[in-house]
Structure 1
């Protein structure tokens, strides 16, 4: 009888890896909840609904959804961004993230985040993580998650087809984006929601390892052991 392999022995093979940032590489929950709470209190927005639905979504989309009628969405988004950029207390790396990133070839890794470039750099630095050279931030994606644009753009920039990549994501919107892009997706952490068929789950990267080899054509292959 063939029994399913235990979770610790799962292996994924790919040619590139795409990481979300907040909640996936960086734990910024305390800062996110703090700044959204202050903005919601200031403008009479529903903080419970914001925190329930905003994770992984571009800030402008959340502001547009919850701002009071007639509010200046661009101005509120700018205000939120200014608050986020000066607060890094409690921003830390997800367990195992630094080790895993260091084990991967830099030119086979991309960051795909709903944050803008400045905020992404601030949070990655605060968490002690190197900013990937290939980074698709909010400025480069006209349609935010759950739309697949960001992940498709990252795969193209790395020169791989979607089916040759793997996405690591923590939020329902981001997981949906990875799946919609046709990229194998691994859900990270406790806030993933119900997972679509075929999406694997890991609590963090503490037990995850990666090795790099070459195929018969000399192209590099990443093997993830989850």
Structure 2
């Protein structure tokens, strides 16, 4: 698939944080007496505060989000890189990719460092936009951070809310089935098992720099 830039969701795409996410949300759900299964079904791909507003509108969502994300950032137990993530990022020109996450900047940075993945030049986090996924604002901000038009960007996502956000932004989407079933991701343009199926296609510009031309499926 041709593109000039790639926008990666973080959790479930580049790193596996399922254990940490389930642990933090399950503990919080028990503390505030809300249904754990409902929380976990909604949490993937959404900002923490947005999930809280859906399941516990009576609470101060921003305050609760800070509490949950501090707990998540305080542990690296169970975090690991998704297969193929490090190799794919290493093959991409640094100016041609960004991370667009529903987590906070502090949480995203902590997880990238804990798993040994490179910090992107452009990182769009929860606090950078007024509306979270499935609203397209985050992906439009990611394209702007790379200096690209939306139609020049390719998004890699694992959650329905993220796929919806990317499509609403006018971008093509590759979905990976790391956290959701294929049936939940049918709005994507392509569905794969993970980023290990992808490789970068680049070309050398006249001045000697490498330019991204797309992603190919292995």
TM surpasses 0.5: yes
- The unaligned stretches of length 5 or more in structure 2 are none
Q: TM-score, normalised by structure 1?
A: 0.89
Give deviations 1:45-96, integer Å, cap 9, x for gaps. Answer: 1110111111100000111222263x22222111111111111111011100
C-alpha root-mean-square deviation of aligned residues, in Å?
1.8
SS of the counterpart of 2:10?
A: coil
Mark the CA change 1:219 to 1:31 in structure 2 (over 3 Å): closer, same or farther.
Answer: closer
Distance 2:57 2:136 in 1: 29
1:147 maps to 135
Higher gyration radius (CA): 1
The structure with the largest helix share of the pair is: 2
1:109 lines up with 2:109 in the alignment: no
Distance 2:57 2:212 in 1: 49
How many residue pairs align between the two structures?
213
Distance 2:177 2:13 in 1: 8
**Cα pair 2:163 2:188 within 8 Å, conserved:** no
1:199 maps to 189
1:209 maps to 199
Distance 2:101 2:119 in 1: 12
Question: 1:222: how far off?
Answer: 2.4
Q: TM-score, normalised by structure 2?
A: 0.92
1:46 lines up with 2:35 in the alignment: yes
**Cα pair 2:6 2:153 within 8 Å, conserved:** yes
How do 1:41-120 residues align onto structure 2 when only pairs under 5 Å count? 41-67=30-56, 69=58, 71-120=59-108
Question: 1:13: how far off?
Answer: 1.2
Question: 1:219: how far off?
Answer: 8.9
